[in-house]
Amino acid sequence: MINKYLGVNKQKLGFVFMLLFLVLMILPAQTQFGQLNMNSYPENTLLLSSISSTTSTSTSILSTTRTSSLQESTSEWLASSEVKADTPVKQTKTVYLTFDDGPSKLTGKVLDILQDSNVKATFFVLGEHVTRYPELISRLHEEGHAIGNHTYNHNYDELYKGFSPFWDQIKQTEAEIQRIIGVPTSLVRAPGGTAGHFDNTYFSLMKQAGYHVIDWNVDSGDSKRKNVPAQDIIRQATENITGDQVIVLMHDGGGHEETIKALPSIISKYRAQGYNFDILTPEQQPIQFKVTQSAKSLKRVQPSQEWIATHIVPNAGIFTQSKDLILQVGGMETKFQSSEYQIVDGKIMVPVRATMERLGGRVKWDQQHKLAVIEMNSVLVQIDMITGNWINTRMGKQEQSKIITVTMKAGVMWAPIRELLQFTGHPTQSIHTNDTERMIKTY
């Protein structure tokens, strides 16, 4: 009986001891893996090395298998995170169409094409042509194109014999531009480009004076010889373009009829390549050619320190004081860049037609009676250019009548913004000015 009992219990005891042994073997591995799984962030992967080496062979195999899987998962997580962090933000592809040597009789055709294509461009104009075609400068400005200074007469012999003659032509053209649109421009392009013409003195003094000298990185080739065919211009302006920021050199001066023919195709081809169109501004990093050895070796008369102090140093202030003008009118907001308005005798003057069209109004010109007629919502404003008298009517009933000074510059009417808003039914609520902008809010 006893022997039988002991035999049966030996079997049971052996089975129990075997179960206890297996439990003791498995528990440490499970505990260690559980700890790893609860803290499975990249920085805790070092815990993998802390697994006890004193565990049995079976425990090590189990741990190694599981931790190896965890290491692979963590490595994949780290790798995908690094790829995302290092992926560069894709830049917008932008092309800047630029036209030199105008305005001319061809400029109007260029503007028509740009308007039909909803494209803005930058025009580097010659002072002597500005004087001849002031109405085209006004149109450039009103239609939102950028205007740059291309000196007065494009004469290389005068411009590059020394900095002072170059400066004189820049200032002469600047005065002509400002006379028409009311503001100067800080954008400058040297005739023929700066390569071989600008030395360090030219670059340094122009920068000190607040100007932004801009060359190009794509040449359409339309000025390499007379009558370059349109197909050649298209090819040179659009083929093998890889950069995200492209400045294309073209010309709208006399004799460039083929450029006019090429322009629609040039616009289409850049659009097809995913480019946006924009105007050059002083805020951009300019593209400039390097100073050549031939330019360095030219023996030019250098301006004196006294001349620099008198002409260069004060000039920068012309551009640093510019501020944008923000109008908040009837739930709408529009912004005028500093070049789009002017301050005369303490009054903010704006172009009447451009301002009213931005605010949803319409302007008609009665040539026979010299009257400007503004329609905005239910308000009608008549401005008599001869007498300066403004008459405001609403629903056929006269509300206001007042003499207010307006000016005409190259066919563009300029008026004080506060009175313009008041007479169209939006009296001023507040005016705020900070370092970068002026803001006018209306009722």
128: helix, strand or coil: helix
Rounded to the nearest 5 degrees, what angle is found at the Cα of 130, between the Cα atoms of 126 and 136? 120
Nearest alpha-carbon partner for 191 in 105, 112, 129, 281? 129
Instruction: Quote the pLDDT of residue 235.
Output: 97
- List of E strands, 103-244: 122-125, 146-149, 187-188, 212-213, 218-219
Q: Name the strand (E) or helix (H) holding 422.
A: helix 417-423
100-140 confidence digits (pLDDT tens): 999 999 999 999 999 999 999 999 999 999 999 999 999 99
Instruction: Quote the pLDDT of residue 221.
Output: 97
394-416 confidence digits (pLDDT tens): 988 998 899 998 888 767 889 99
- Report, as ranges of residue numbers, the positions in the chain whose pLDDT lies below 70: 1-91, 320-322, 345-346, 410, 435
Q: Do β-strands 347-351 and 412-416 pair in parallel, antiparallel, or remain unpaired?
A: antiparallel
Residues of the chain with pLDDT > 70, as a percent, come to 78
Rounded to the nearest 5 degrees, what angle is found at the Cα of 362, between the Cα atoms of 360 and 367? 165
Burial class (CB in 10 A: 0-12, 13-18, 19+), 123: buried
Instruction: Quote the pLDDT of residue 84.
Output: 36
Residues 439 and 435: their CA atoms lie apart, in Å, by 11
Instruction: Quote the pLDDT of residue 148.
Output: 97
Sheet with 428-433: list strands edge to edge: 332-336, 324-329, 437-442, 428-433
Residues 259 and 109: their CA atoms lie apart, in Å, by 11
Asked whether the beta carbons of 389 and 293 are under 8 A apart, the reply is: no
Tokens of 282: 């002083």
Contacts of 350 (CB under 8 A, 6+ apart): 325, 336, 340, 341, 414, 415, 417, 420
Instruction: Quote the pLDDT of residue 436.
Output: 76
Residues 246 and 121: their CA atoms lie apart, in Å, by 12
Angle of helix 257-272 relative to helix 230-238, nearest 10 degrees? Answer: 40
What is the DSSP code string of 265-317?
A: HHHHHHHHTT-EE----TTSPPP-PPPPHHHHT---BPPPHHHIIIIIHHHTH
